Every structure is written in C-alpha cells, then in structure tokens.
Amino acid sequence: MARRRALWVASVVGMLLALHVVLSSVLHLFLFHPRADLGGEIARIGERVTYVTDDGVRLAGWLVRARGARRRTLVVFHGNGETAADGSSWADRLADRGTDVLLAEYRGYGASEGTPSARGIERDAEAAIRYVLDERHVAPSELVVQGHSLGGAAAIAALAGPASHAAGGVIESTFTSLHDMARVVVGLPLTRLLPDAYALDSASRAPSIRMPILHVHGDRDEVIPFEMGQRLGALFPNERFVRVPGGTHNLGSPMVADEIVAFLERVAP
C-alpha cells in the first residue's frame, strides 16, 4: 500500500514537472523572439550606449539626441519580436521636437548580454531608467516612459519602480499579466507552474502609478485581446484610454503617433 502510494505520488510529481516544462517552453516561445541588432539606420542618427543591470548583465541600447535644446527624454521599450534599433524612425521624428530618445534593450536582444526572461525584463527596464536618471542626470519631470506589447509591461514595471516620479507614460497594446496571457496562449489556468510566475504583472502595478498615462489599444488586436487592454486601463488612476478602430497589434496609425507626440509635449513641455 505504502509502495503504491509512493508510486502514485512520484507519478503526479513527474506529470507536474513535465507540464511545467511544456508550459514554460510554450510561453517562452510566445514571449521572446530575440535577434541580433544589425545597426543600419539607427547607427546614422544615434549612438550605442551601454549600462549594467543589478544582476550584472551588460545591455546595449541606442541613444538618439534631440536636435536643438533638449526638452524631455523618452525611454522606449520595444515589443518581443523587435530590437531597439527598430525604433529609429520614431526616435528620428522625436529628435526634431526636442526629445532625447533612449531605445532601451533587453538581455539576449541586439548586442546585449544574457538570455531573456520575464524577471530579467523587469531588471532591464529598471536599469534603463537608472541610466537616464543617474548617468545622464535627467530630471524626473522631463522623463516619459513608453512601451509596446511586452515593452508595455516593461514600461509599467519601470513606472511603478524607479520611474515613479516621471512626467508620464505611454502604453500600447499590452497585457494585464503573464497569468492572463498564458490562459490566452496555452488555454489552461495553470500559470502558477510557470517560472517567473509573478513577473510582469501589470494589473497589480497599475493602481500605484499616478502620473498621466496615455494608453492605446487596437480593437482588432490579434495577439493581446482588446478586452484585456480595457481591463488593464481601468486600473490606472490617471489614464486616457484610446481605442483604435480597426487597429491590430502593431499600431502604425499616424493618428496614434500624433496622439503620442501631443501627450509628450503636454506632460513634459
């Protein structure tokens, strides 16, 4: 009897471990698509900058300086299938409007060290903010943080942490939590088995973020459900939620770009 019970327990533990591995692999494949940074256009308009996370990972982002007097600094966190260099056009536009832009990078992406993970993304976001505040001596009143998709979760982690006194934040097409995304992707409510299960939980952080937030989400988002964006938006105390009719996950709308520029110039004039 005791032997049978021990075998049953061992079988259950084995199944849970196997499920843990499967779920971890599926979510990791969904979350992270790192690739090398080939430079290109960004190397013409920006400079490579490096900074180190609190766990010793050296990250390599791009800094595009304002043309003329600097009025504000924007830190941008990209989506999971991009690199910092992909933000070159956006940074180029903003540089003409008095904005320094740090295109922040994640571990394992571009020319950065390490391997991506949910907890690592949080540390990477914190390191980018510390870099602009401590090394570039940017005043919090001149700082705005922006993030798209996975980058939206990174931005929210930063705004709830070292950027808590920033002038504002811009959130695009992002999720409430990894738990919720795991249910969307895997279809099973077993997210507590995942590594970093409590990382990138934007829903738990949003109520503490009190600076102005511009939050945009397309109502045809094929990756992160629009309704999830609405639920997240309702948790911010000081948010303007913009529904983008017909907008998919990667919002390329000139209307959205104009909204963001107007927001930046209002909160950090």
Taking residue 195's Cβ as centre, other Cβ atoms within 10 Å add up to 14
**Catalytic site residue 258?**
no
Q: Is 196 a catalytic residue?
A: no
**Strand bridging mode 58-64 / 47-52:** antiparallel
CB 23 within 8 A of CB 70: no
Residues 6+ apart with CB under 8 A from 260: 146, 170, 214, 216
CB atoms within 10 A of CB 161: 15
The span from the CA of 149 to the CA of 32, in Å, is 11
Burial class (CB in 10 A: 0-12, 13-18, 19+), 251: buried
Instruction: Judge whether 221 counts as a catalytic residue.
Output: yes
Annotated catalytic residue: which of 86, 100, 201, 221? 221
- By C-alpha distance, which of 144, 140, 134, 141 is closest to 102? 144
Count Cβ neighbours within 10 Å for each residue of 67-105 and write b for 16 or more, e otherwise.
eeeeebbbbbbbbbebbbbbbbebbbebbeebbbbbbbb
Among the listed residues 112, 149, 177, 202, the single catalytic one is 149
Using alpha carbons only, give the angle 250, 216, 158 rounded to the nearest 5 degrees. 95
Annotated active-site positions, please? 149, 221, 249
